[in-house]
C-alpha cells in the first residue's frame, strides 16, 4: 500500500499510521544519537547499519537547512 492509499483509508487509525511511523523513526534516530548507538534499517531488501556519527551529521545538516534566521526569525 502506498502513502497515498493510506491517506485515503476509511480507518482513521490506518490514516494516522504513516505519521506515527515517521515520528517513531525520528525518535529512534534521536535516541541513537543520544546513546551513541547505531540503528539498523532495511533498504532495498538489504540490512543496513547507520552509525551514530552519520546520524549526527545528517541531523546537523537538517538543522542548518531549517535555520530560523533564514526566515528573519531570532530565537
Nearest CA among 49, 48, 46, 28 for reference residue 38: 49
- HSE value, Cβ hemisphere, 13 Å, CA-based, for 74: 0
pTM for this prediction: 0.68
Q: Kindly tell me if the per-residue pLDDT of 65 is higher than 80.
A: no
What is the model's pLDDT at position 38?
96
For residue range 9-41, what is the model confidence (pLDDT) as tens digits? 888 888 888 889 999 999 999 999 999 999 999
- Sequence spans of domains, the chain: 3-71
Amino acid at each position: 500500500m502506498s502513502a497515498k492509499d493510506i491517506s485515503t483509508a476509511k480507518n482513521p487509525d490506518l490514516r494516522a499510521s504513516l505519521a506515527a511511523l515517521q515520528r517513531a523513526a525520528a525518535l529512534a534516530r534521536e535516541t541513537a544519537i543520544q546513546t551513541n548507538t547505531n540503528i539498523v534499517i532495511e533498504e532495498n531488501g538489504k540490512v543496513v547499519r547507520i552509525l551514530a556519527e552519520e546520524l549526527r551529521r545528517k541531523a546537523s545538516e537538517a538543522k542548518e537547512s531549517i535555520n530560523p534566521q533564514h526566515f528573519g526569525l531570532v530565537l
